[in-house]
Amino acid sequence: MPLGYVIATTADLGRQEAVDFLWRPRIGELLWNTVRLLVAGVAASTVLGVAGAWVVERTDVPLRGWWHGVLCAPLAVPAFVNGYGWVSTTHAVQSFPGAVMVVTLSYYPLVYLPTVAALRRLDPAVEEVATSLGRSGWSVFVRVTLPAVSPAVLGGALLVGLHLLAEYGALQLLNYPTLTTAILQQYATVFNGPEATLLALVLVTFCLLLLGIEALLRGHRRRARVGSGSSGDPVRVRLGRVKVPVLLALTALAGWSLLVPLGALVRWLVRGTSTTVDLGELLSAAGTTMLLALIGGLTATVVAVPVVWLAVRHRGLLTTAIERSVYTASAMPGIVIALALVTVSIRVLPGLYQTVVVLLVGYTILFLPRAVVSVRSTFELVPPGLEDVARNLGCSGVGVARRVTLPLVLPGLASATALVALAVATELTATLLLAPLGTDTLATRFWSDAAAIEYGAAAPYALALIVLSIPSTWILGSLSVRNGS
């Protein structure tokens, strides 16, 4: 639907007009900014994420569990809060390198988490054989380990890319204009002008391009492990003389990605001149956020269950197509989906415009894949044989679902809800566009203060956001290592 909308509205625009608009130098600059941020950000996040995962999983670095937590932690700090922390510390980050650094520090966990999980699952025997055949640690890593975990790395890099295309808050604060920030500005000045949708079309093209590149790189070769042996503990590389530099690097990363934004927050809280915390407003925004996050999480999970159930138990062309379309829809940035929903609700169901329902629909479209991925992994753990046995013991269909399937998949459903809730709580662009007037979430309150450079007033909202995000981040971090065994 969003794709159809984008194409339909741009079709309204004359072809010549569209070409003229797209050929302006301003657009060229936006494109160049977007592309170089995309390339540099994805590359930096991938290097950082893979290096971090390797150090934690394959070396004898002390306090491994602690470093795993530290490397996951940036997930709890939304990118726009991170950007705010940096921009209010030094204006030097309002540049291309600064933008790359901030988005990398915010998004590298998206590569780190799947890579750690893949390294855990990798049969250490494969690496041992390579070692016994005379390969050094580096050669084993490049020729054996990396190819084996490459699907996970690639998937993480794709996620980073999609997030970078959709990122608005952080880049706006860093004064780094991209397609997405331009769309929101267009929208703010000439409400829903055709230019905004035209830019959205370009953005969608980028997203589809990314998906295509990823599919191409992934290829169709099987990389799953062959055989079924037990995977023991891997042999960890002795760091020896480089242990101190590695520890220093990890500490620097922690400081850079966590202490700077958190330090800025605390500084503004303590001595910001504009700090007049209205506790009532803060609590009401926090309440709205939690409510929206919870309902959004539950809605997405409830929608995900039948999609997954169909895809897992009744494999067919149609069900696979439905599942795939879910992923494609989410590849589109929140801004495009929000624009589409605004237009459709105004034209088709004017009664719904500016209601929470539209907002929830937007959240569901945006975050359904996260719920699907999480629900799916638990559904696949329930062997169909179990359901057959229950039926054989005289359970009705409803009874099987209630007494066997549901208890088994409940943890997965809970983590799906938590994941989507985390995403909803920190979502900015779609919320800005779709939320009913007067509905303030922590993110939008933070944003209106931070955008007005009232950093002190924004700080409490940012802190509340981070506190709300911690449980979901913890769930994600522990899931990634538990999958290993």
Of the pair 91, 143, the CB lying nearest another protein is at: 143
- Please name the residue that has the structure tokens 């741009």: 10
Of the pair 136, 251, the CB lying nearest another protein is at: 136
**Residue 147: CB minimum distance to another protein, A:** 4
Q: Are 286 and 277 in contact (CB under 8 A)?
A: no
Of the pair 229, 350, the CB lying nearest another protein is at: 229
Sign of the alpha-carbon dihedral angle for 173, 179, 180, 181: positive
**Residue 485: CB minimum distance to another protein, A:** 17
> Which run of H or E residues covers position 20?
helix 15-22
Residue 376: exposed, middle, or buried by beta-carbon count in 10 A (0-12, 13-18, 19+)? buried
**Residue 121: CB minimum distance to another protein, A:** 12
Of the pair 123, 387, the CB lying nearest another protein is at: 123
Of the pair 132, 485, the CB lying nearest another protein is at: 132
Q: Are 103 and 164 in contact (CB under 8 A)?
A: yes
**Residue 45: CB minimum distance to another protein, A:** 23
Amino acid present at 368: L
Of the pair 139, 320, the CB lying nearest another protein is at: 139
Q: How far is residue 445's CA from residue 278's CA, in Å, rounded to a whole number?
A: 12
Task: Compute and round to an integer the Cα radius of gyration of the chain.
Answer: 23
Cβ neighbours for 227, distance < 8 A, ≥ 6 positions apart: 123
**Residue 131: CB minimum distance to another protein, A:** 5
Q: Residue 374 corresponds to which tokens in the numbers above? A: 């999480």
**Residue 229: CB minimum distance to another protein, A:** 4
**Residue 477: CB minimum distance to another protein, A:** 27
| DSSP3 helix / strand / coil % (the chain, rounded to 5) | 80, 0, 20
Residues in the site for another protein, rule: CB under 8 A?
123, 125-126, 128-136, 143-144, 147-148, 221-230, 235
Q: Are 355 and 288 in contact (CB under 8 A)?
A: no
Of the pair 135, 267, the CB lying nearest another protein is at: 135
